[in-house]
Amino acid sequence: MIDPAGRVIMVSGANRGIGRAIALRLLRSGFQVSAGVRDPEQAPNDPNLRAFSYDANHIDQAQKWVDQTLATFGRIDGLVNAAGLSVRMPLLGSSDGPLFDSLDRMMQVNVKAPMAMIRATWSHLAASGSGRVVNVSSLSGKRVRNENIGYAMTKFALIALNQEVRRLGWAHGIRATALCPGFVDTDMTRDVAHVPRHEMSQPDDLAELVDVVMRLPNTAAISELLVNWRHEDLL
């Protein structure tokens, strides 16, 4: 296993939900964390964490966050793309707002922002020799089981991005993992009424998986982690 001491991990969406749980778990393991958040004052308080303003709606903020991380820590060893957005957009019927506006908003946050972050961190992850990328996707990126096809389309695209990071990064020691949970007990699922909260996956459990991925050696890479709260025949 890789020793986390001195290693720096960037985590987007670290103010709440899965991103916050991941940041806190990595800190407990001994990593240093650069948290990209909309409101730095709401980020976890820890001497090994620095919070920087980052909004996945604005691609031009990616390089600024990377530059600030390097100026503070001097290196980047890992990236967790945890910021995400779900807006209801079915194939047929009404959506939350204009149909393709909803899709564009999700593509921006769920696909374009992670791609921009990967591009901005690439040379530093390669310099690490054991760079790690975790893309928080979804089981909706592996199959379609509800009407929110727009969200599923963006998460399928994120899986493709994850595979390309693995292909291009392999020779440089960069390993990428797509984390694909079903319903998770976070703000994003607050409108899900048919599943009791206690039956959903918990952010802390997903954070444990990310911590393991970050510490695995180059010879034990995991491409995808499919995390079920219920039995699924094909997964």
Residue 37 in contact with residue 50, Cβ under 8 Å? no
**Cα separation, 135 vs 115, whole angstroms:** 10
Residue of 52, 54, 122, 151 marked active site = 151
* Residues in the chain, overall count: 235
Nearest CA among 120, 113, 19, 130 for reference residue 69: 120
Is 151 assigned a catalytic role? Answer: yes
Residue type at position 150: G
In the chain, helix, strand, coil percent, each to 5? Answer: 45, 15, 40
Nearest CA among 96, 98, 52 for reference residue 73: 52
Nearest CA among 144, 149, 142, 143 for reference residue 89: 149
Report the catalytic residues: 151
